[in-house]
Amino acid sequence: MRFGVFMAPFHASPIKSPVSALTRDIETVKLLDRLGYEEAWIGEHHSCGTELIASPEVFIANVAAQTTSIKLGTGVLSLPYHNPLWVADRAILLDYLTRGRFILGLGPGSLPTDASMVGLDPVSQRGALEEDTEVLMQLLNGDSPVSVKTARYELVDAMCQLRPYTQGGFEVGVAAIASPSGPRIAGRHGMSLLSIGATLTGDLDLLGQHWGIAEERAAQFGTSMNRDGWRLVGPMHIAETKEQAYAEVEHGLDDWCNYLQHVAAVPHFEPGGTTFTERVDWINNSGIGVIGTPDDAIRQIRLLDEQSNGGFGAYLMMGHEWANPAATARHYELFAEAVAPHFQNRLDRLAASEAKARESRARLYARQGDALQEANDRHAAEKAGALA
């Protein structure tokens, strides 16, 4: 299983300094790269005063030069806001600039305040995403010119002048939240799937629905779905103790909840509760995330693995600034040290090696003593012989 971050990015509200907020975003990705996380996904938003990255491509180009191995994805690029030809060209360019570390993530656009500024009715966005993805994939994978006219753009014999840097093409994924649009698109094209907010349990458990729709569509269109490309997204903050984690998220949990409850018009991802305690309980009891310890995080990921009925490829922690920068950095360090290894087959051989050494210690300890004594005796004998 791979791990990473899905950064809208949410910042503590109100923003005190856009410069500082964007610097924190850059430093977060650099930290994750140093800690061995596999992926960082960067969002696109244009309104509401909290999610500040207007172009995930520009951000990725900037941070790619400051990192070495972490893969960088648009999480997600709002395709209906753009001409698919320019999206394809910019994505291919990033594939070259990052030497294959780029992933193209697509979505309809989550903030209706963004869509309204470019004259898009939110009701039309998911249909537009399906239509535009069809065009985009032809541009990325086809060898024939593409001509198409929609209500939003026209292409006339359009082609990308470069093939992707990645042999066979770079990975393309699509977001799935509360509607079937994302899974439908993923199955139609055999794309990766990002289930955002689908970690809710009970009546809002969407994991089975997401994957089932994608597989049904894949069978219909002769494509295939790979669970390794299925990513689940959810918020977490962990510390050494549950009490410490609760204290640390007092920094920004209420800001995050207030933003999603009263500013951003996203009914498919609205926190519950009005007090701090109620909101902590909602995070932990709804199944959407964790505020607690590494053991709580391990338990949550194992539960999701069971709910997925076959497994998934990556768990992405939603970036949220619930805690201050130092506590947030420690959260990512603690997760890398105490959670991720349990799901990455990196501990079993260490444990086996220790057990083997422990079992043979007494015998080898004695033999090591014999070896030291033999060396001393041999040296003494040689010295005595030289003096004789």
Q: What is the DSSP string of 55-83?
A: -HHHHHHHHHTT-SS-EEEES-EEGGGS-
Angle at 201 between CA 197 and CA 207, to 5 degrees: 60
The pLDDT value recorded for residue 279 is: 96
The pLDDT value recorded for residue 203 is: 43
Pairing status of strand 314-318 against strand 102-107: unpaired
Rounded Cα–Cα distance for residues 341 and 356 (Å): 21
Give the relative orientation of helices 325-338 and 18-35 as an angle to the nearest 10 degrees: 20
The pLDDT value recorded for residue 148 is: 98
* Residue 189 near residue 223 (C-beta atoms within 8 A): yes
Closest C-alpha to 33, from 63, 74, 55, 58? 63
The pLDDT value recorded for residue 385 is: 86
The residues with which 317 forms a beta bridge, in sequence order, are: 5, 234
Closest C-alpha to 172, from 109, 98, 103? 103
* Residue 299 near residue 53 (C-beta atoms within 8 A): no
* Residue 87 near residue 136 (C-beta atoms within 8 A): yes
What is the CB-side half-sphere exposure of residue 358 using CA atoms within 13 A?
6
Could you list the pLDDT tens digit for every one of the 388 residues in the chain?
Answer: 999 999 999 998 888 999 999 999 999 999 999 999 999 999 999 999 999 999 999 999 999 999 999 999 999 999 999 999 999 999 999 999 999 999 999 999 989 999 999 999 999 999 999 999 999 999 999 999 999 999 999 999 999 999 999 999 999 999 988 778 899 999 999 999 999 865 654 444 567 788 999 999 999 999 999 999 999 999 999 999 999 999 999 999 999 999 999 999 887 778 999 999 999 999 999 888 999 999 999 999 999 998 888 999 999 999 999 999 999 999 999 999 999 999 998 888 989 999 999 999 999 999 999 999 999 999 999 988 887 6
The pLDDT value recorded for residue 210 is: 83
The pLDDT value recorded for residue 204 is: 46
- From residue 38, alpha-carbon distances to 3, 73, 227, 233 in Å are 6, 11, 16, 14
* Residue 115 near residue 188 (C-beta atoms within 8 A): no
The pLDDT value recorded for residue 198 is: 57
Domain ranges for the chain, please list them. 2-349, 353-388
What amino acid is encoded at 382 in this protein?
Answer: E
Rounded Cα–Cα distance for residues 178 and 111 (Å): 14
Chain center to CA of 75: 8
The pLDDT value recorded for residue 202 is: 45
Question: Sign of the C-alpha dihedral, residues 209, 213, 219, 225?
Answer: negative
Rounded Cα–Cα distance for residues 18 and 11 (Å): 10
pTM exceeding the 0.85 threshold for the entire prediction = yes
Tally Cβ neighbours within 10 Å of residue 282.
15
> Using one digit for the tens of pLDDT, what is the confidence trace for 272-305?
999 999 999 999 998 889 999 999 999 999 999 9
**Structure tokens that stand for 276 in this block:** 């701090």
* 3.40.50.720, 1.10.3720.10, 3.20.20.30, 3.40.50.1820: CATH of 2-349: 3.20.20.30
